[in-house]
Amino acid sequence: MSQTAIGIVGAGGRMGRMLVQAVDNQPEAILEAASERSGSELIGLDVGSLAGIGSNGVLLVDSPQAVFAANRVIIDFTAPEATLNHIDIAVAHNSPMVIGTTGIDANGVAKLAQAAKNIPIVFAPNYSVGVNLMFKIAAEVAKVLDGSADFEIVEAHHKKKVDAPSGTALGLGEAIASAVDRNLADVGVFAREGHTGVRDDKAIGFSTIRGGDIVGDHTAMFIAMDESLEITHRAKSRMIFANGAVRAAMWVADQKPGLYNMGDILGL
C-alpha cells in the first residue's frame, strides 16, 4: 500500500502534536519530518514520544527547509509570518502544502494564490468536515432567506486565541455573502458600541467570545421578524481539525497546481 509522505512544521505545539497523532492514526500516511521554531527547547526530541504515540524515529529539527521535499506534503498550522515564509520554501522544493494558519491578511492570501500557480495548496479556515458542511448549508439557507432575514454570526474560542473573528467565522461570512451576491468587506460589521443607528439590512454581523478552553463554537443566525433559524457547530476536540488536515494532505498529493479548499476535497 502506497503511503502519502508528510512533513509537519510547528510540530511541537498543541496543534502540531495532534497532527502527529492524526498522521499516526492514518495507515495511508507516514510522517517523515517535523520542525519547530529555532531556539525551542524541544529541538532534537522524538516527535512521536512528544505527541504521546511512542517513538517514531522522527526528531524535531529547527530548520523548516529540512522538512520540505518534492515527495512530501507539508502541513502548516503555524502563524501568518511563518507560513508566508514557508510558502517560498515550498515553491523552491515543489512541495504541496496544507495550510490551516488563520489570520493571514489579503496580501498573504494573494501570495498563496500566486504560489498555487506552481504547487498544489489546500488553504481552508477550518478542516472539520462538519464545519464545511455548515458552510454549504448556511449558504443555501441565505439564498432562500435573502431579503427577509438578518444574518449574524457568533463565534466562541479559548482565551489564548489571538485573532478575531476566527478564520472559521470569516469563512462562514464569506459563504453567506457570496450566496447572496454581497462583498463581505463591504457588509461585514465587526464591532458595535454606542449609538450605532439602525441595522443595515445588507449587513452581516459578527460577535466574538473568548474564554476558558472552548475549542470552537460557531453559530449562523438567520433572524426574521416572526421567526429565526440557527445553525450551530461545536467542536469537542481539536482532533477533528487534525484529521481533516491529514485527509487534505492525502488528497492534495495527487493534484495539479492550484488553490483548493475543503469543499473541493469533500465534493461540496
CATH at 215: 3.30.360.10
Which residue type sits at 45? L
Backbone angles phi, psi at 3, to 5 degrees: -110, 145
Same domain as 117, residue 29: yes
Residue (of 122, 92, 56, 109) closest to 260 by Cα position = 122
Cell triple for residue 100? 490551516
Q: Which of 86, 157, 218, 233 is catalytic?
A: 157
Same domain as 111, residue 43: yes
240-259 average pLDDT score:
97
Backbone angles phi, psi at 188, to 5 degrees: -70, 135
Question: Could you report the per-residue pLDDT of 97-155, keeping only the tens digit for each?
Answer: 999 998 899 999 999 999 999 999 999 989 999 999 999 999 999 999 999 999 999 99
Same domain as 133, residue 42: no
Pairing of strands 216-223, 150-157: antiparallel
Q: Is residue 161 annotated as a catalytic residue, yes or no?
A: yes
Per-residue DSSP letter, 65? G
Contact 109, 132 (CB under 8 A): no
Q: Is residue 143 annotated as a catalytic residue, yes or no?
A: no
Contact 224, 149 (CB under 8 A): yes
CATH at 80: 3.40.50.720
Same domain as 226, residue 245: no
Beta bridge partners of 133: none
Residue 268: the pLDDT is 85
Q: Which of 93, 111, 136, 161 is catalytic?
A: 161
Same domain as 115, residue 10: yes
Q: Please report which helix (H) or strand (E) contains residue 235, including its range.
A: strand 228-235
pLDDT at 2 over 90: no
Same domain as 206, residue 135: yes
- What is the domain range of residue 99? 4-123+238-266
Query: How many domains does the chain fold into?
Result: 2
Same domain as 99, residue 61: yes
Residue 1: the pLDDT is 61
257-268 average pLDDT score:
94
Same domain as 250, residue 174: no
